[in-house]
Amino acid sequence: MAVELLKGNVALAEAAIRAGVEAYFGYPITPQTELLEHMAQRMPELGRAFIQAESELASINMVYGAACAGARAMTSSSSPGISLMQEGFSYIAGSEVPAVVVDVMRGGPGLGNIQPSQSDYFQVTRSAGHGDFHAIVLAPASVQEAIDLMVLAFDLADKYRHLVFVVADGLLGQMMEPAELPPMRPLRAERPDWALTGAQGREPRIITSLELDAPALEEVNKRLQAKLRVIEEHEQRYAEQMVEDARLVVVGYGTAGRIAQTAVKQARREGMRVGLFRPISLWPFPERRLSRLADRVDAFLVVEMNAGQMLDDVRLAAGGQVPVDFYGRTGGMVPVPEEIYQAIETLYAKLPGSLS
Amino acid sequence: MVAAETVMEEQVVYARPESLRDVPTHYCPGCTHGIAHRLVAEVLDELGVRERTIGVSPVGCAVFAYKYFNTDGCEAAHGRAPAMATGLKRVNPGAVVFTYQGDGDLAAIGTAEIIHAAARGENITTIFINNAIYGMTGGQMAPTTLPGQYTKSSPSGRDVEVAGFPMRMAELVGSLPGAAYVSRRALHNVKEINKAKKAIRTAFKVQLAGLGFAMVELLSACPTNWGLSAPEAMQWIEDVMVPYYPLGDTKVADGVDALMKER
């Protein structure tokens, strides 16, 4: 495979195709629509299922149906559409079928705007639907990483029979970068042994999230929670730079993490011992590594394109050992490196023993 | 001698269809869900498709339909059965996929999903139980509740000035070009039940022939929430429901009439 210039949304779509997605159901919404458009062209070409649904609600329930049939299925949307899909997320989690959802986040709340944002952190990591569950959430910071995580998303969904989000923002969805697509994987030849295929020569299978008997539903919840603990144990992902001797570590994911990298490098040039920690899995949050860093750094600075959502997770990981400061922009405003640099400089000056 | 031997020979005249499980249902006495389930099961048996059928259950009284049909089955969110069935069918075109939905599920919360499944000509079969009331939640007004009908959420009778008019879904869905076969039948007497079975049979044959979307609306009894005895409820279908919801086919697309003539 060769490196080519790819738009984020298109790269996400083509990576899903190469990962073996058999069915895509979606509804147009800016800034993710190019993903749907790419699927509209490519899926029928390959003899795979594509439907432009009547709503995001219908999209996610079509995904649910295709997932119950044992097919690799996905949808994509942006923040308001993701809100509408919450019903389906909960049913998918409750009945333990694999599904992949791309959220190209935009400014909110309400109809908000179509500018890049990270306003859905709470929604995707905390409240993706009613009931006790977390989805797996992967957050790329480049077009190449979007491709790689898209493929991983399908593998994790199948491995754990669980809902997986790939969350980007409007900037990552819209920008073009050189990247390399993976080779085309063959579609799975056989359906999994739990899938609904028609009860040919076997007992009928049932997929449901309904259990009226409270003790039995508690058992379902215990099983689901045990699975989530396994995911927490094995799937924490992050990238870090210059943290070895850092007194201050900037924590940011996706686009915010990438912009923060420029600010961190500038701070290093100015002689400040600053590092960058970039969560790649937002759930499970990479708290093990972050709490180890909390043992030896003097402070964290969380940078997000929202009013402070991942901030809660960083505070939990820091466990009150060190101060956790925050710099964020909202409403679709994207911070420039200089703003973050100034936030770093201000906080660094307050660290114990600093000259200020 | 010959006559006596004939009398001794065992003849099965009524048995449980293989497509129904041998389990008790949770339906109320006098409810017609049992009849509707049996008709669907008999049709699946007769068409020989039980082992490639996937049923999608609704939210409502038939929420446990997947426990009664002896086929693969799943449970949709309220109103979303046609969307879920769409996903199942598109990745599994050889399967026979049907939804079984009540009036709240299909005609209120799931209106968009049923209309668009029909509009796409989705190759699935929908069994629509219209009993003019919300059964599972205990008797509230449905989109198909008749003008003046007393329910727990229309305690003075459905006032069309406030609550609007009941929806004739067979006519609405039948008007869509993607719908191949749409029919309204009733379950209140033997003659109508036989006609209902024929319609259900046609609706599944339409799917097998790949002709598009098929739906059979079944006027059904809910004696418990109507506050009537079972015989009174059957009479109420005849006297009150049928005049507002005329029986018959509302859509027979090209190619479907030939299927209807087949035995």
Model ipTM value: 0.95
Judge: B66–A91 Cβ closer than 8 Å, yes or no.
Answer: no
Domain CATH code at residue B74: 3.40.50.970
Contact flag B83-A65 (C-beta cutoff 8 Å): yes
| Contact across the interface for A69 and B96, Cβ inside 8 Å | no
Nearest to B86 among A51, A67, A87 (CB): A51
Compute the distance between CA of residue B127 and CA of residue B115 in angstroms, rounded to an integer: 14
- Chain B residues touching A23 at Cβ < 8 A: 87, 90-91
Pick from A66, A91, A210: which is nearest to B91 by CB?
A66
Tokens, residue B230: 């079972």
- The stretch A287-312 carries a mean pLDDT of 98
- Residue at B144 is within a domain: yes
Mutation for B interface: A54, A85, A89, A187, most B CBs within 10 A: A54
Check residue B85 and give its pLDDT.
98
Distance from CA of A52 to the nearest CA of B (A): 10
Q: Residue A352 above 80 pLDDT? A: yes
**Whole-number Cα distances in Å, A111 to A107, A108, A184, A255, B239:** 8, 6, 37, 22, 49
Using DSSP bridges, classify how beta strands B53-57 and B248-252 pair: parallel, antiparallel or unpaired.
unpaired
What are the start-end ranges of the H helices in A72-167? 79-84, 86-95, 121-125, 143-160
Instruction: Report the pLDDT value the prediction gives residue B8, as an integer from 0 to 100.
Output: 72
Q: Count the domains in chain B.
A: 1
DSSP secondary structure letters along B9-44: S--------TTB-SS---PPTT-SHHHHHHHHHHHH
Residue B255 falls inside a structural domain: yes
**Is pLDDT of A13 > 50?**
yes
Contact B80 A61 (CB under 8 A): yes
| Record: contact A62-B92, CB cut-off 8 A | no
Contact A64 B66 (CB under 8 A): no
State whether residue B237 sits within 8 Å of chain A by CB. Answer: no
- Interface of A to B at Cβ within 8 Å reads 22-23, 25, 49, 51, 53-55, 57-59, 61-69, 71, 73, 87-88, 91, 95, 196-201, 204-210
Q: Establish if B18 belongs to a structural domain.
A: no
Q: Residue A250's closest CA among A269, A290, A277, A282?
A: A277
Residue B6 lies in a domain: no
B11 domain residue, yes or no? no
Tell me the residue length of chain B.
263
What would the two tokens of residue A197 be? 């295929």
- Per-residue pLDDT band for B9 (boundaries 50, 70, 90) equals confident
B126: contact with A, CB 8 A cutoff: no
pLDDT band at B11 (very low <50, low <70, confident <90, very high): confident
> How far apart are alpha carbons B135 and A341 in whole angstroms?
62
Task: Write out pLDDT tens, residues A319-335.
Answer: 999 999 999 999 999 99
| B88–chain A nearest CA distance, Å | 5
Residue from B19, B67, B84 to probe the interface with A (highest A Cβ count within 10 Å): B84
| pLDDT 10s digits, A187-237 | 998 999 999 999 999 999 999 999 999 999 999 999 999 999 999 999 999
Could you report the per-residue pLDDT of B178-223, keeping only the tens digit for each? Answer: 999 999 999 999 999 999 999 999 999 999 999 999 999 999 999 9
- Domain annotation covers residue B68: yes
For residue B93, the chain A residues in CB contact (below 8 A) are none
**Domain-embedded: residue B2:** no
Q: In chain A, what residues touch B85 (CB-CB under 8 Å)?
A: 65
Are B72 and A205 an interchain contact pair (Cβ–Cβ within 8 Å)? yes
Do the chains contact at A65 and B85, CB–CB below 8 Å? yes
- Non-local (6+) Cβ contacts of B83 within 8 A are A53, A57, A58, A59, A61, A62, A64, A65, B76, B113, B117
Q: Does any CB of chain A come closer than 8 Å to the CB of residue B122?
A: no
Calculate mean pLDDT across residues A244-249: 98
Q: Please, which residues bridge with residue A179 across strands? A: A4
CB contact under 8 A, A197 and B72: yes
How many whole angstroms separate alpha carbon A157 and alpha carbon B70? 29
Domains present along chain A, CATH in parentheses = 3-195+205-234 (3.40.50.970), 239-349 (3.40.50.920)
Q: Mean pLDDT throughout A312-321?
A: 97
Distance from CA of B94 to the nearest CA of A (A): 9
Return the pLDDT at B35.
Answer: 98
* Measured distance CA(B240)–CA(B67) in Å, rounded: 32
Q: How confident is the model at residue A355 (pLDDT cuts 50, 70, 90)?
A: low
B154 in a structural domain:
yes
Q: Which residues of B touch A54 (CB under 8 A)?
A: 112-113, 115-116
Q: What is the number of CB-based contacts under 8 A between chain A and chain B?
A: 136
- Cβ contact A80:A123 at 8 Å: no
Measured between CB atoms, which of A58, A207, A210 is closest to B83? A58
Checking if the pLDDT of A356 tops 50, the result is: no
| pLDDT tens by residue, B91-115 | 999 999 999 999 999 999 999 999 9
Instruction: Compute CA distances B95 → B86, B91, B125, B189, whole Å.
Output: 11, 9, 11, 32
**B63 in contact with chain A, both atoms CB, cutoff 8 A:** yes
In this prediction, residue B227 has a pLDDT band, given cuts at 50, 70 and 90, of: very high
- The model carries a pTM of 0.96
Q: For all residues of chain A together, what is the average pLDDT?
A: 97
B115 close to B173: Cβ distance less than 8 angstroms: yes
**Minimal Cα distance from B83: which residue of A?**
A62
**Chain B residues near residue A59 by CB distance under 8 angstroms:** 83
Chain B residues touching A187 at Cβ < 8 A: none
Question: Which among A22, A51, A198 has the least Cβ separation from residue B95?
Answer: A198
Range of the domain at B146: 25-261
Helix axes A33-45 and A8-18, enclosed angle (nearest 10): 30
